[in-house]
Amino acid sequence: MVSVNDLGLKADRLAVIDMHTAGEPVRIFDATPLNVAGETILQKRRNMGDRFDHLRRAMMLEPRGHADMYGAILVPPNDPAYDAAVLFTHNSGYSTMCGHATVALGRFLYDQARQQGRTQTRFTLECPCGPVAIEVSPDSDPAAAPMVRFESVESFALALDDSIELSGFGRVQFDVGYGGAFYAILPSARLGLDFHQTPLDQLVDAAGKLVAELRATRSVRHPAEPDLSFLYGAILTDGDRLTPGQLTHNLCWFGEAQIDRSPTGSGVSARLAVAHAKGEIAPGAALPFAGASGQAFDGAVARPTERGIIAAVSGRAYYMARSELILEAQDPFAHGFALPARFGDYLA
Query: Which among 98, 127, 129, 252 is annotated as catalytic?
Result: 98
Hey, how many other C-beta atoms are within 10 angstroms of the C-beta on 13?
12
Cβ-in-10-Å burial (0-12, 13-18, 19+) of 261 comes to: buried
For residue 129, indicate whether it is catalytic.
no
Q: b/e for 206-224, b at 16 or more Cβ within 10 A?
A: bbbbbbebbeeeeebebee
E strand or H helix at 115: helix 99-115
Give yes or no for a contact between 236 and 267, defined as CB atoms under 8 angstroms apart: no
168 to 131, 165, 172: CA distances (angstroms): 41, 9, 10
Q: b/e for 54-73, b at 16 or more Cβ within 10 A?
A: ebbbbbbbeebbebbbbbbb
Question: Pick from 121, 76, 89, 135: which is nearest to 298 by CA?
Answer: 135
Strands (E), 22-109: 24-30, 70-75, 84-90, 93-95
Active site residues: 98
